[in-house]
Amino acid sequence: MTDDDLTRAADWLRAADRVCVLTGAGVSAESGVPTFRASDGLWEGHRIEDVASPDGFERDPKLVWQFYNARRANARTVEPNPGHLALVALERRWGERFTLVTQNVDGLHRTAGSTNVLEIHGSLHRTRCLGCNRVTDRNIQEDLGDEPACPKCYGQLRPDIVWFGEALPESVWLPSLNAAYGCNVLLVVGTSAVVHPAASLVPIAKRKQPAARVIEVNLTRTEASQMADVGLYGPSGVVLPKLVERLG
């Protein structure tokens, strides 16, 4: 990341009326949450389709719950890092004209203090009942076991997570589209930008008129890099605080 790139990014941000941020697993990496795309195609030793698909859940709900209980246990031990906190500072500056769209299910943006957060892939902090459809906040400290049942109707509970092959809930996806469409700057942080429709927020912001400036923050180039006006390559826990500082 050059000093010039940082200055350009800060200049665009300073001039922006509306700001949208899309985050992925990379923003939580420095907190100790593992990212997804290991080179062997496995997700903590499991095939993705076994633990993150409706079919996988139907085949072996206990395995899926063991996997998500392990992720819940990890989420208990982690804390927001300076990258999350820098995004809180940005929200303070823009208020309601700032939207944070996250693919992360760890809840760390909310723990850090971000409030205008759209969790488009769901949350480890919630369950959904397959019987009565009720979504319930479940304290991350709670051990749910591998066959949790709905406290209201005794139906089967599943994690309130969007799995592969499932549609994103409209209640979070429509405001995300609006935020990407309406922003002057889109900050794309710590995502490989390969999972759609989340990744499509980048072309949506870029192809409208007038196009938004896209700032990418990542360790490496990604599928989104070609559409980025500037790439700030480095750990988000270091780059984002520098960007906030440069904003002044």
176, 216 contact by CB (below 8 A): no
CA distances 94 to 1, 35, 97, 120, 174, Å, are: 25, 29, 5, 21, 20
**Interface positions with ligand APR (CB under 6 A):** 24-26, 29-30, 35-37, 103, 121, 190-192, 195, 218-220, 222, 235-236
**Phi, psi of 194, deg, nearest 5:** -110, -15
Of the two residues 150 and 205, which places its CB atom closer to ligand APR in the complex? 205
- In what side-by-side order are the strands of the sheet with 122-129? 135-137, 122-129, 157-161
- If one counts every other C-beta atom within 10 angstroms of the C-beta of residue 210, the result is 6
In the complex, what is the shortest distance from the CB of residue 159 to ligand APR, in angstroms, rounded to a whole number?
A: 12
Of the two residues 184 and 191, which places its CB atom closer to ligand APR in the complex? 191
Of the two residues 69 and 218, which places its CB atom closer to ligand APR in the complex? 218
In the complex, what is the shortest distance from the CB of residue 219 to ligand APR, in angstroms, rounded to a whole number?
A: 4
Considering 84, 109, 121, 125, which one is annotated as catalytic?
Answer: 121
Of the two residues 25 and 150, which places its CB atom closer to ligand APR in the complex? 25
Give Cα 51 to chain centroid, integer Å.
19
In the complex, what is the shortest distance from the CB of residue 235 to ligand APR, in angstroms, rounded to a whole number?
A: 4
Catalytic annotation on 125? no
- If one counts every other C-beta atom within 10 angstroms of the C-beta of residue 97, the result is 17
Of the two residues 148 and 190, which places its CB atom closer to ligand APR in the complex? 190
Which residue of this chain has its Cβ atom nearest to ligand APR in the complex?
26
In the complex, what is the shortest distance from the CB of residue 137 to ligand APR, in angstroms, rounded to a whole number?
A: 20
Helix, strand, coil percent values for the chain (each to nearest 5): 40, 20, 40
User: Which positions ≥6 away from 92 have C-beta within 8 Å?
Assistant: none
Rounded-to-integer distance, Cα 106 and Cα 129, Å: 20
Measuring CA to CA, which residue among 146, 128, 140, 130 is closest to residue 51?
A: 146
In the complex, what is the shortest distance from the CB of residue 59 to ligand APR, in angstroms, rounded to a whole number?
A: 19
Query: Which residues does the annotation mark as catalytic?
Result: 121
